[in-house]
Amino acid sequence: MVVELIGQTLSAMLPVARMVLLLAVASAIGLAFGQLKIRGVGLGIGGVLFGGLAIGHLAHVAKVPLEAGMLAFIRDFGLILFVYTIGIQVGPGFFAALRRSGAALNGLALLMVASGTLTAAALPFLIGMPLEAALGVLSGAATNAPALAAARQVLSEVGAGAVQASVPGLAFAVTYPFGIAGNLLTMAFLRFAFRIDVGAETAALEAKRRAEAQALASVDLAIGNAALDGVRLGELTVLHQLAVVASRMRREGQLQVPTEDTVLRSGDILHLVGSPTGLKQARLLLGGESVNEPLTTKGSGLHWVRLVVTERAALGRSIAELGLSRGREVAVSRVNRAGVELVPTRSLKLQFGDILTVVGRPEDTAALAGIVGNSQRRLQQVEMVPLFIGVALGAILGSLPLYLPGMPAPLRLGLAGGPLIVALLLARLGTWGPLVWFMPPTANLALREIGIVLFLAVLGIDAGGRFFDTLAGGAGPIWLLAGAVVTLVPLLIAGVVGRAAMKLDLFTLCGVLAGAQTNPPGLAYAAALGNAEAPALAYATVYPLAMCLRILAPQVLVLLLY
């Protein structure tokens, strides 16, 4: 009686209002459920999927109409928001991470894809499962809808009937929920099995990040090369080639800021900033000896401040073009960009959000602040035009067909891969004309959370209607068990290899597991453990290769086994 009343009430509502209500209730229930913890371990954001399954099943029983087109739009738009904001967040450090550990992490992702594909390929031989169902199990266990689309496409290409072509979709629906849950459970299991202290690993990663951010060194050198007497500092172009800058100088006990017009004398003491290699070469050039007494601004008329680049006129322009020290007793000693310190050479082009360490007189540093902006309001302001341009470019890229020799159907990056790759490139670019691709961290986090919640809630609601019915009868239980095996085997193999053999930290390992499974909820869960940057970087590092391999895998299986 109660179910019928709920069904009549919801059916009488306007379609949009009904969908908003269902999504809101599913999200609230799921988020609350995800906060429940057993021995300190909970599902986190993954609880929204189960909230959606419950609401979807209730709507099915109560015969509440659901608009498939509306569900598909909300699901895909939520996914786009999630992956785009992830790309914008990790973009500045992505390419450095790719160079540093990309081969090893992608090798681990390849191990996951290969072991999962081989496990699914064995199902027809071990338990007599039809190949069509095995393809759906493989796609659902890996939570990869583009793989399902590729499987259905290649089945139609080889002449499969309509009934056979529909089997992968049913198997996908049954195995998908555990594909997500299995990823989260594996992360929790690895944390328990290896007795990982999340707090200690967070502290260790933060210490490593600070060490990398402070990769620049500094030294105080007394000039001993007599040939430099009377030479202007600006004439020592070799310092720029070595990426070394002078930010302070002491002459006859007086501290001052050296400029390009400063005429050097023997005995002058320069405070130089650069890489250890560059400073070693500079020492040979200047013929100087380091001094023990540091060149601090205490007791002098100078001070140092940090200024943030927010002014549009400064974006994309080099330090030389801006003439920051022209006519001022001021020097830029360091530039911090997304946690990485850079030498402020003359050719370095500034980007939105760069943090400049500046030494000089108060009136000169104040004038410099006016040039670069230093506006806290701009840092908190979301640039909406670049956001939607980036989303549009991502949708276009994800929709482009990629034709490979021997493949019966084109590959596509999809609405998960396209926006992610575009966001990585745009974040790396920083600015383009008046467009600024920077996004305030608070806004980024809010959009990311909204996106993943919408995505999971719709998945649950959409699958809830047939999930329990399929699970209860026919081949449903077999599909579910097979999907659990195809989900867990690659995750456990990669998890043990990554932790025991490769000594990966928990956050990076979880990012690889989520990225290789193309599983955004897994990334959200990993980020909620305490460090959002490391899993996001690992996820973005392995995602492109994993996505391509996931799309290729069912097509290869059909060509070999059908």
pLDDT of residue 338: 65
Task: For residue 307, give the nearest of 276, 269, 333 by alpha carbon.
Answer: 333
- The pTM of this model reads 0.68
Ranges in the chain annotated CATH 3.30.70.1450: 224-287+311-374
Neighbours of 179 (CB within 10 A): 27
Residue 348, burial from CB neighbour count under 10 angstroms (0-12, 13-18, 19+): middle
Helices 533-561 and 145-157: crossing angle, nearest 10°? 10
Give the H/E segment covering residue 186. Answer: helix 162-193
Q: Which two tokens stand for residue 402?
A: 């990629």
Task: For residue 522, give the nearest of 190, 197, 196, 179 by alpha carbon.
Answer: 179
Distance from C-alpha of 506 to C-alpha of 529, rounded to nearest angstrom: 9
Ranges in the chain annotated CATH 1.20.1530: 2-208+382-399+408-427+441-561
pLDDT of residue 165: 59
The DSSP annotation for 4-60 comes to HHHHHHHHTS-HHHHHHHHHHHHHHHHHHHHT--BTTB--GGGHHHHHHHHHHHHHH
Per-residue pLDDT 10s for the chain (562 aa) are 677 777 777 777 888 888 899 999 999 998 888 777 665 555 667 678 778 888 888 888 888 888 888 888 888 888 888 878 878 877 776 776 667 677 888 889 899 999 999 999 999 999 888 888 898 899 888 887 667 766 766 676 666 665 565 677 678 778 877 888 888 889 888 988 888 887 787 777 776 666 555 567 788 888 888 888 888 888 888 887 888 888 888 888 788 888 888 888 888 888 888 888 888 888 888 877 667 677 777 767 787 888 888 887 887 788 888 877 776 778 888 887 766 677 787 888 888 888 888 888 888 888 888 888 888 777 777 788 989 999 999 999 888 887 766 655 566 777 777 888 888 888 888 778 778 888 887 888 888 889 878 887 887 787 777 777 767 766 778 888 999 999 999 999 999 999 999 888 888 899 899 988 888 778 877 877 776 678 887 887 887 778 767 877 887 787 777 6
Q: What is the CA angle 153-158-160, rounded to 5?
A: 80
State the sign of the Cα–Cα–Cα–Cα dihedral 84, 85, 87, 92.
Answer: positive
pLDDT of residue 153: 63
Neighbours of 42 (CB within 10 A): 18
Contact 287, 224 (CB under 8 A): yes
CATH node for 224-287+311-374: 3.30.70.1450
3-class secondary-structure state, position 532: coil
State which fold the 2-208+382-399+408-427+441-561 domain adopts. Answer: Na+/H+ antiporter like fold (1.20.1530)
Task: For residue 203, give the nearest of 505, 516, 513 by alpha carbon.
Answer: 505
Q: How far is CA 269 from the centre of its chain?
A: 44
pLDDT of residue 404: 66
Buried-state track 112-148, b at ≥16 Cβ within 10 A, e below 16 = bbebbbebbbebbeeeebebbbbbbbbbbbbbbbbbb
Q: How far is CA 532 from the centre of its chain?
A: 9
Angstrom CA distances, 19 to 26, 55, 173, stand at 11, 11, 21
- Check residue 262 and report its DSSP letter: P
pLDDT of residue 518: 80
Helices (H) and strands (E) in the chain, counts: 20, 11
Distance from C-alpha of 174 to C-alpha of 136, rounded to nearest angstrom: 9
